[in-house]
A and B are shown apart, each in its own frame.
Chain A
Amino acid sequence: MLKRTPLFEAHRTFHAKLVDFSGYEMPLQYKGIKEEHLAVRNRAGMFDVSHMGEILIRGERALEVVQELTVNNAALLKAGQSQYSVMCLDNGGIVDDLLVYCLSGQEFMLVVNASNIEKDFNWIMQVNDGRAEVSDISEEIALIAVQGPEAVSIMQKLTRDKPGDIPMFEFRSMEVSDYDNILVSATGYTGERGFELYCNIRHVNVCDLWENIMVAGEPNGIRPCGLGARDTLRLEAGLALYGSDLTEDHTPLEAGLSWLVKWDKGSFMGKDALLAQKSRGVSRRLCGFVVQDERRIPRSGHAIIGTDGEVLGNVTSGGLSFMLDRGIAMGYIPTEHAEAGNSVMIRIRDKEYPSEVVRLPFHKRKK
């Protein structure tokens, strides 16, 4: 039996096409992926991402545990701030990518991928070894993402607070649509300005909140969006997806996430292996590719081929960029081929198509 989020009835009302996504019955799309994608780029879109996992780490030694678990420096976070990070195994392989929210000096919330909740929880418990109180609150938390250039003005209609003043990667507890204590976070996974609203389902009628945002956003052209558009948006924004672009077989240095790794913060899981890899040199890197031929769409698993005909790697994520009107992909190739501007071929079914290595993101948001 698939699990359902508290917004399941709302998805029915809006005629979502539902799919199984890591054990949850989630909306793939409502009207269509392209329309939803363009709504987020040009106006606003709203997503149910309640399947995401939330793990609380509390206690006097909570910071110490978070520092050991993650590669970024959580000691720099003040209450109300969050940061993107990854957890690594001893060998440097990525356990998961996540957001670390500093609720207070002794309370952190880790927001993890739905497909990894159980694995992450077990890993955290193992590293924690009884030092802090760890709890999986995923089932209590519903998460609504409102994303796009109109997100600020839509949210402003529903609160007396000032959501537009929240700096990127910070969050505030706000009263939204008469529900208090909604955690409004200026984060997202689309490459656009926007918010993620963490709601405790014991205090918030989440379907009612969804409806109210939909009504408030109607004049702005808001659309309900499914996981299909979430995937095309994040790919176009050059954001890696765990399970495809990030796995335990890849390190953050290979994945273009070395900027997350704070070497001088003290010890953390994977540090020695990552340091060794850094001094040895990183032999492969996650790159972006744009297919030159119009409308040839690279897909996961397609081979990336060098100018001498040798296979350099495989596409880890691929699709059509609606903004570029070109096929785009990410994949790991040897460092010596990874420079932006280089030419490679991508084998799409039985033919090879010239493609260019590009710097990520594929699409930058309008300022």
Chain B
Amino acid sequence: MNHPKELKYTREHEWIRDNGDGTVTVGVTDFAQNELGDIVFVEIDKVGESVDKDDTFGTVEAVKTVSELYMPLSGEILEWNEALEDEPELINEDPYGKGWMIKIKMSDPAQIEELLTVDAYNEIIA
């Protein structure tokens, strides 16, 4: 299973990339997309809003199951990956690239330190 070292992770199987400008990019992990199977629909319902850490920001619907998406840290959702509207399968095909989900402007950048390292995440899914 492919989980890049430079990213941070959550127990909810999301990855977080620090863009270095006060924003982060968020998606779901390779493990998560594999567990979910074919993803057929993504709904991000809080674009433009400020959302607290651990609150939901949308849902991802796979053939067999539906999952909520949780904010990995607090902040404003600046944008979402609109390509997922027509091609939700990008999450299966390229979870860390074309399958990214949202960009967040962090309200408390210190929260980034609370996220999991790749080693800690790998231990959780082992």
CB distance from B83 to the nearest CB of A (A): 15
Binding site for B on A (CB under 8 A): 17, 28-29, 32-35, 228, 232, 295-297, 299, 319-320, 349
Q: List the B side residues contacting A319 at CB < 8 Å.
A: 63
Q: A295-B61, A297-B61, A349-B59 are in contact. Are A228 and B37 (CB under 8 A)?
A: yes
Are the C-beta atoms of B37 and A32 separated by less than 8 Å? yes
Q: Which of B65-116 contact A (CB under 8 A)?
A: 66, 92
B121 at interface, CB cutoff 8 A = no
Q: How far in angstroms is the closest Cβ of chain B from A292? A: 15
Within 8 Å CB of B52, what residues of A? none
Q: Which of B38, B41, B66 contacts A32 (CB 8 A)?
A: B38
Q: A297-B66, A299-B66 are in contact. Are A33 and B59 (CB under 8 A)?
A: no
* B-side interface residues, number (CB < 8 Å): 11
Contact yes or no, B38 A33, CB < 8 A: yes
Main secondary structure of the interface of B (DSSP, over half): mixed
- B16 close to A (CB within 8 Å): no
Could you pull out 19 A-B pairs where Cβ atoms are within 8 angstroms? Answer: A17-B37, A28-B37, A29-B37, A32-B37, A33-B37, A33-B63, A33-B64, A34-B63, A35-B38, A228-B37, A295-B40, A295-B41, A296-B41, A297-B40, A297-B61, A297-B66, A319-B63, A320-B41, A320-B63
Candidates B34, B38, B41; contact of A34 at CB < 8 Å: B38
Interface mask (B13-48 → A, CB under 8 Å = 1, otherwise 0) = 000000000000000000000100110110000000
Q: How far is the CA of A223 from the CA of B37 in the complex (A)?
A: 17
A232 touches B59 (CB 8 A): no
- Output the least CB separation between B126 and chain A (Å): 18
A228 touches which one: B40, B63, B92 (CB < 8 A)?
Answer: B63
**A8–B67 alpha-carbon span in the complex (Å):** 30
Complex alpha-carbon distance, A349 and B41, angstroms: 14
Bound-state CA distance A328–B122 (Å) is 37
User: Which residues of the other chain, A, contact B34 by a CB distance below 8 angstroms?
Assistant: 17
The smallest C-beta distance from A353 to any residue of chain B, in angstroms, reads 13
Chain B residues within an 8 Å CB radius of A232: 63
Q: Which residue of A lies closest to B64 (CB)?
A: A228
Please give me the residue from chain A that is nearest to B92 by CB atom. Answer: A32
Considering the complex, give the chain A residue whose CB is closest to the CB of B65: A299
Q: A122 vs B63: C-alpha distance in the bound complex, in angstroms?
A: 36
The residue on B at minimum CB distance from A320 is B40
Which residues of chain A are near B41, meaning CB under 8 Å?
295-297, 320
Going nearest first, the 10 A-B pairs with the smallest beta carbon separation are A295-B41, A33-B63, A34-B38, A32-B38, A33-B38, A320-B40, A297-B61, A33-B37, A228-B64, A320-B63
Residues of A within 8 A of B59 (CB): 349
CA distance A96 to B37 in the complex (A): 30
B63 to chain A, nearest CB (A): 5
Report A-chain residues with C-beta under 8 Å of the C-beta of B37. Answer: 17, 28-29, 32-33, 228
| Complex Cα gap A29–B37 (Å) | 9
Other A-B pairs beyond A28-B37, A297-B66, 9, CB < 8 Å: A17-B34, A17-B37, A32-B92, A34-B38, A35-B38, A232-B63, A297-B40, A297-B41, A320-B63
- Give Cα A32 to B63, complex, Å: 10
Bound Cα distance A34, B38 (Å): 7
Chain B: which residue is nearest A348 at the CB level? B66
Smallest CB separation, A237 vs chain B (Å): 16
Q: Chain A nearest CB: distance from B32 CB in Å?
A: 14
Q: In the complex, which residues of chain B have a beta carbon less than 8 angstroms from the beta carbon of A28?
A: 37, 64
Docked pose: A320 CA to B63 CA in angstroms: 7
| Chain B hits for A32, CB < 8 A | 37-38, 92
B42 vs chain A, min Cβ distance (A): 10
B11 to chain A, nearest CB (A): 22
Q: How far is the CB of B91 from chain A (nearest CB, A)?
A: 12
